[in-house]
Amino acid sequence: MVKRISEGKESAKITIIAYESLTCGHCANFHKDVLPELKKDFIDKGLVKIEFRHFPLDLAAFNASKIAQCNNDGNSNILHILYSGQKKWARGKTPEEATGYLKKFLESESVNLDFEKCLSDKAIEDFVLNDRIDGVKKFEVNATPTIIINDKKFDKALNYKNLKKYLEKLI
């Protein structure tokens, strides 16, 4: 079974769903600038749970999503590795070239997995594609990152100040 990547307690009062594409620069900025504050103030205190859902915008992101889900126990570390090194692997003029950069990057980060097996795993592929389909159907997701808080689309500018203000009203 493919396990959802998330952070926080299942029992948290507030659930955030983050629809992301692993080649999206704004998504990488969310992981670098917003998520650490969100973790410190809300997730680590048991108030918020965040689920990361896949919304790949291109083939490189689709392959990276499959890699993120492969051999995954639900831990978000692989997302942080992929986002922090995004400029190293999210490039290439052809899908094959982009896949090569991704493989090389993961090897340089000592990420242990069977790369080819992960990319060809049908259950993982379906999981990633279903995230994208559900995002469109349930929440009309059409860009990344899209943040859903307790089943409502967060429509303010995505920075920590706005997010914190919104979450404090829900607690």
SS (H, E, C) the chain: CCCCEEECCCCCCEEEEEEECCCCHHHHHHHHHHHHHHHHHHHCCCCEEEEEEECCCCHHHHHHHHHHHCCCCCCCHHHHHHHHCHHHHCCCCCHHHHHHHHHHHHHHCCCCCCHHHHHHCHHHHHHHHHHHHHHHHHHCCCCCCEEEECCEECCCCCCHHHHHHHHHHHC
**Residues 6 or more apart from 107 whose CB is under 8 A from it?**
none
Q: Taking the domain 5-170, which CATH number applies? A: 3.40.30.10
For tokens 């993961």, what's the residue? 106
Q: What does the domain layout of the chain look like in residue ranges?
A: 5-170
Region 149-162: mean pLDDT is 96
pLDDT value at residue 73: 84
Task: For residue 64, give the nearest of 45, 52, 78 by alpha carbon.
Answer: 78
pTM (two decimals)? 0.95
Give the model confidence (pLDDT) of 112-139 as tens digits. 999 999 999 999 999 999 999 999 999 9
Region 85-97: mean pLDDT is 93
pLDDT at 71 over 80: no
